[in-house]
Amino acid sequence: MTKLSLGSHPYLLGFEQLERLLERNAKSGNEGYPPFNIEQTSERSYRITLAVAGFRDEDLSITVEERQLMIRGGQAEDDAERLFLHRGIAGRQFQRSFVLADGVEVAGATLENGLLHVDLERAAHDKVVQTIQIKRA
C-alpha cells in the first residue's frame, strides 16, 4: 500500500510548503509545557492562551516566520542569592509553535495574571470567480 502525502495527492496542488510546515512543527519539541488553550473568539478570530506564571513580558518573545507562530520564554537565573528549601515552580525555558493558515495574522498579545494571550485574525476573503480564456494552439 502506497502512502500518499499531502503534497503528492493529485487534487491538492501547491500544498508542499504546508506539508513541510506540519512536519517541522511535529519535530519542534512541543511538549506539555507550558499548558495552553486555543479558542475561537468570533467567526474570524482566535485566541491562544499560554499559562506563563512567573514570566515577565521581557522574558517572552513572539515571532512569525514562514506562517509559523513561535512563542518562546526564558527567565534569567537569579538563584545565586536565593536559598530554596523546596522548588516546585518551574522557571524553565520553553518554545511553542503553531502553524498559521494563509490569511491568519497576529492581531496582538497581552500578558495578564500569568496568562499570555495571543490574538489571531483571519482576513475576510472576497469570492473571486476567474474565467480562463482558451487559446488555440
Looking at residue 67, which CATH number applies to its domain?
Answer: 2.60.40.790
Q: How many angstroms separate the CA atoms of 99 and 18, rounded?
A: 9
In a domain, 9, yes or no: no
In a domain, 129, yes or no: no
Residue 26 grid cell: 511535529
In a domain, 130, yes or no: no
Q: How many angstroms separate the CA atoms of 3 and 12, rounded?
A: 15
Q: State the residue range of the domain holding 110.
A: 31-78+89-124
Q: What is the pLDDT of residue 134?
A: 93
Query: Which one is predicted more confidently, 100 or 137?
Result: 100
Q: How many domains does the chain have?
A: 1
In a domain, 136, yes or no: no
In a domain, 106, yes or no: yes
pLDDT tens for each residue of 5-58? 665 667 777 777 767 766 766 665 556 889 999 999 999 999 999 999 889 999
In a domain, 8, yes or no: no
Put simply, whether the predicted model's pTM sits higher than 0.75 gets the answer no
Q: What is the pLDDT of residue 114?
A: 93
At residue 134, what are phi and psi to the nearest 5 degrees? -95, 125
Q: Report the 10 Å Cβ neighbour count for 81.
A: 5
Q: How many angstroms separate the CA atoms of 69 and 25, rounded?
A: 10
